[in-house]
Amino acid sequence: MRPPDKSGTSRPAAAASSDFESISRARPRPSDRVSDERQAGVVTELHNEEIYGKPGHLIRRLQQIAVAIFVAETKAFDITPVQYASLLAVQLRPGIDQTTLMEAVAFDLSTIGEVVGRLEGKGLVKRLVSPKDRRAKVLYITPAGRRLLARIKPDVEVAQERILAPLPRTEQAPFMRALKHLVEANNEFSRVPLRRKPGSKPTTGSNRAMKSRRR
What confidence tens digit (pLDDT) does each residue in 135-169 have? 788 999 999 999 999 999 999 999 999 999 999 99
pLDDT of 77 > 90? The answer is yes
157-190 burial code (b ≥16 CB/10 A, e <16): ebbeeebeeeeeeeeeeeeeeeeeeeebbebeee
Q: Are 86 and 112 in contact, with CB atoms under 8 Å apart?
A: yes
For 18-40, write each residue's pLDDT tens digit: 554 554 455 555 555 555 556 55
Listed by start position, the domains of the chain span 167-215
Q: Are 176 and 167 in contact, with CB atoms under 8 Å apart?
A: no
In what side-by-side order are the strands of the sheet with 96-97? 96-97, 137-141, 125-129
What pLDDT is attached to residue 131?
82
- Report d(CA 191, CA 16) in Å as an integer: 69
Q: Among candidates 31, 6, 200, which has minimal Cα distance to 104?
A: 200
Model confidence at 14, pLDDT cuts 50, 70, 90, reads: low
